[in-house]
A and B are shown apart, each in its own frame.
Chain A
Amino acid sequence: MNIVVLVKQVPDSSMDRNLRSDDNTVDRGSASNVINEMDEYAIEEALRIRETHGGEVTVLTMGPAQATESIRKALQLGADKAVHVLDDALAGSCAVTTSRVLAAALGQLNPDLVLCGAESTDGRVQVMPHMLAERLGVAALTGARKLTIDGATLTVERQTEEGYEVVTAVTPAVVSVWDTINEVRLASFKGIMAAKKKPVQTLALADLGVPAGEVGAAGATTEVLSHHRRPPRSVGQRITDDGAGGIKLVEFLATEKFV
């Protein structure tokens, strides 16, 4: 099975993240940049599928030059090769135009299966898998906590608000995964060495036949007008339980009209 894993580089969510004051885009200098956590589970799932069903795993990233760090990490974990869509004109892309560029790249790679994270920690948008499926005219099975493959048939178990659903489709398809789907591996020494020789292809917009003026900030379908930091919460009351902590807690709840 020919698998493409979508990997997005995001600012580390355990650090302080900011938007830039000049153009309102993500400040990639304010926190260190890492692979979007959920995408690590997509990489792992791809490697497991390759182990049982054979095939090839290609990493696809759209992002600035430093995204090569995330690509390298994915290759160290075991992906076979990578495609990096890199073009200055992509800065400031919105979700709609990002999906157009990724769909164009996927059109060239022509995979049986596209795996991606269910959402990214910077945007938390959860829209990319459906946007891509819409553009490619293929199935989208989102939020998988379990994926089984039988020939060309994919079956996904997905959490819903009421319980869970079982959904099925045939390849080609896009499947997005939650962190409940597997346990990710760490890169081995062998993997780290092997990654150095793995091919990374760089594609510019011209290679994809996408006009530069229609993507990036120039073609964005949404615009950030302003941004500010949320004021920190004011420090509240704190008591130490002296045997009546629960009663005092209820007194607080009562003054706030919760009981």
Chain B
Amino acid sequence: MPEVLVVVEATREFGVKKVTLELLTLARQLGSPSAVVLGGPGAVDALSGTLGEYGAEKIYAAEHEEIDGHLVAPKATVLADLVRRVQPAAVLLASSQEGKEIAGRLAVKLDNGLLTDVTELTTEGTATQVVFAGSTIVTSRVTRGLPLATLRPNSVTPAPASAPTTPAVERLDVVLGEADKLVRVVDRVAEQKGSRPELTEASVVVSGGRGVGNADNFKLVEELADLLGGAVGASRAAVDSGFYPHQFQVGQTGKTVSPQLYIALGISGAIQHRAGMQTSKTIVAVNKDPEAPIFELADFGVVGDLHKVVPQTAEEIRKRR
């Protein structure tokens, strides 16, 4: 079986990210998955169990302070060396900011084509991409080099391998040049987000807009999100009004989400907001304006005051528990 490299993303708090599990699931359909862990010392230990569960046959581990201490360039260098050596059938990364950045550098280093925001990839290397805010679907392929693609979160249903593996760990030499060490990370600040899933990875997203009214009322949005095990999102108007922090903005200039369920509360559904959420599987909207364009997308819409509808929704979910 041809080897397919999957670049692992993980957080200290939650371990291997869901999108990496999706990547491994996809890689199993294409060949034999090898996970590539690029991080600081000790990065692999906490992750190898999960990677094996999702079918990684092998783990390439590059652990070095310099990798953690600098922005993406060292990761791209180590990965390029590995790709040159093992000549895999494909290289898969997450379509996160970092995934795309590593992939971009890799593409230049190897003079290799790059496909971003891919939702499907076949063994022949044909990729499906969603462009123009979800309005157009494209099939494409790399014509120079090997299939190099970044996968959009929530494109594949992650499934553990039928037989979990105990992946062999191969340590990689980390040989960096001066150009890899130009950008130093001087501080990393974790902003607390509690136990909620990450916005782009969540299966359920509950978003609030200007109609929520004020920052305090966002508690309603959070409460519903928590009852559904979801993440909280916000429209740009809500962010600009200071109701909710910018990193939760959904839309053209925020995050693109594609969850199983998207609930829009007090959001009108401007085209730039739709750009970030219209590929969601099921869409629910609560808005007091029956003319709001969000209803054009909604599988279920409630015309009404969210300050009445949302507490009742929360109450009813609790009752049914």
Query: Which of A130, A133, A224, A241 has most chain B Cβ within 10 Å?
Result: A130
Decide: B299 and A237 in contact? CB cutoff 8 A: yes
Decide: A227 and B139 in contact? CB cutoff 8 A: yes
Name B190's contact: one of A142, A145, A162 (CB within 8 Å): A162
Q: Is B34 an interface residue (CB 8 A)?
A: no
* B-contact 0/1 string along A110-150, CB 8 Å cutoff: 00000000000111111110110111011111110100000
Can you spell out 20 A-B residue pairs with CB atoms less than 8 angstroms apart?
A: A13-B252, A13-B275, A18-B136, A19-B131, A95-B104, A123-B131, A161-B96, A163-B189, A167-B71, A169-B182, A173-B182, A221-B142, A227-B131, A229-B137, A236-B298, A236-B301, A241-B308, A241-B309, A249-B309, A258-B260
Q: Is A194 an interface residue (CB 8 A)?
A: no
How far, in whole Å, are A179 and B251 apart by their CA atoms in the complex? Answer: 13
Q: Is A52 an interface residue (CB 8 A)?
A: no
What are the residues of chain B within 8 A of A230 when measuring CB–CB?
A: 130, 134-137, 279
Decide: B190 and A95 in contact? CB cutoff 8 A: no
Q: Among residues 142 to 181 in chain A, which have CB atoms less than 8 Å away from a CB atom of chain B? A: 142-143, 145, 155, 159-170, 173, 178-180
What are the residues of chain A within 8 A of B169 when measuring CB–CB?
A: none
How far, in whole Å, are A238 and B283 apart by their CA atoms in the complex? Answer: 12
User: Known contacts A126-B97, A164-B191, A167-B71: does B144 contact A221 (CB below 8 Å)?
Assistant: yes
**Closest A-B pairs by Cβ, 4 of them:** A241-B304, A246-B312, A127-B104, A221-B113
Q: Is B317 an interface residue (CB 8 A)?
A: yes
What are the residues of chain A within 8 A of B73 when measuring CB–CB?
A: 133-134, 140
Decide: A222 and B115 in contact? CB cutoff 8 A: yes
Decide: B101 and A130 in contact? CB cutoff 8 A: yes
Decide: B317 and A259 in contact? CB cutoff 8 A: yes
Residue of B nearest to A16 (CB): B135
Query: Which of B198, B271, B313 has most chain A Cβ within 10 Å?
Result: B313
* Distance from A38 Cβ to chain B, minimum over Cβ atoms (Å): 7
* B-contact 0/1 string along A38-54, CB 8 Å cutoff: 10000000000000000
How far, in whole Å, are A203 and B183 apart by their CA atoms in the complex? Answer: 31
Q: Is A193 an interface residue (CB 8 A)?
A: no
User: Known contacts A13-B133, A227-B137, A249-B284: does B108 contact A99 (CB below 8 Å)?
Assistant: yes
How far, in whole Å, are A237 and B284 apart by their CA atoms in the complex? Answer: 10
Q: Is A69 an interface residue (CB 8 A)?
A: no
A interface vs B, CB < 8 Å?
13-14, 16-19, 24, 37-38, 94-96, 99, 121-128, 130-131, 133-135, 137-143, 145, 155, 159-170, 173, 178-180, 220-230, 233, 235-241, 244-250, 252-254, 256, 258-259
B interface vs A, CB < 8 Å?
11, 13, 71-73, 76, 96-97, 100-101, 103-105, 107-109, 111-117, 126, 130-145, 179, 182-191, 193, 198, 200, 204, 228, 246-247, 252-253, 256, 260-261, 271-272, 275, 278-279, 282-284, 286, 290, 295-305, 308-317, 320
Decide: A143 and B298 in contact? CB cutoff 8 A: no
What are the residues of chain A within 8 A of B135 when measuring CB–CB?
A: 16-17, 229-230
User: Known contacts A95-B114, A142-B97: does B138 contact A227 (CB below 8 Å)?
Assistant: yes
Decide: A246 and B141 in contact? CB cutoff 8 A: no
Decide: A126 and B101 in contact? CB cutoff 8 A: yes
Query: Which of B185, B286, B312, B315 has most chain A Cβ within 10 Å?
Result: B312
Decide: A131 and B182 in contact? CB cutoff 8 A: no
* Distance from A107 Cβ to chain B, minimum over Cβ atoms (Å): 15
* Distance from A106 Cβ to chain B, minimum over Cβ atoms (Å): 14
How far, in whole Å, are A249 and B315 apart by their CA atoms in the complex? Answer: 12
How far, in whole Å, are A69 and B69 apart by their CA atoms in the complex? Answer: 42
Query: Which of B73, B107, B130, B204 has most chain A Cβ within 10 Å?
Result: B107
Decide: A127 and B101 in contact? CB cutoff 8 A: yes
User: Known contacts A220-B143, A225-B141: does B310 contact A127 (CB below 8 Å)?
Assistant: no
Decide: A227 and B183 in contact? CB cutoff 8 A: no
Decide: A142 and B191 in contact? CB cutoff 8 A: no
How far, in whole Å, are A141 and B297 apart by their CA atoms in the complex? Answer: 37
* Distance from A168 Cβ to chain B, minimum over Cβ atoms (Å): 5
* Distance from B260 Cβ to chain A, minimum over Cβ atoms (Å): 8
What are the residues of chain A within 8 A of B256 when measuring CB–CB?
A: 124
Name A256's contact: one of B97, B189, B275, B282 (CB within 8 Å): B282
User: Known contacts A13-B275, A95-B107, A247-B312: does B283 contact A233 (CB below 8 Å)?
Assistant: yes
* Distance from B243 Cβ to chain A, minimum over Cβ atoms (Å): 15
Decide: B76 and A223 in contact? CB cutoff 8 A: no
How far, in whole Å, are A244 and B184 apart by their CA atoms in the complex? Answer: 56
**7 other A-B residue contacts (CB within 8 Å) besides A95-B114, A222-B142, A233-B278:** A96-B107, A161-B247, A166-B187, A168-B184, A227-B137, A230-B130, A245-B309
How far, in whole Å, are A124 and B283 apart by their CA atoms in the complex? Answer: 23
How far, in whole Å, are A145 and B254 apart by their CA atoms in the complex? Answer: 13
How far, in whole Å, are A124 and B115 apart by their CA atoms in the complex? Answer: 11
User: Known contacts A131-B104, A220-B143, A233-B283: does B137 contact A249 (CB below 8 Å)?
Assistant: no
Decide: B101 and A142 in contact? CB cutoff 8 A: yes
* Distance from A144 Cβ to chain B, minimum over Cβ atoms (Å): 12
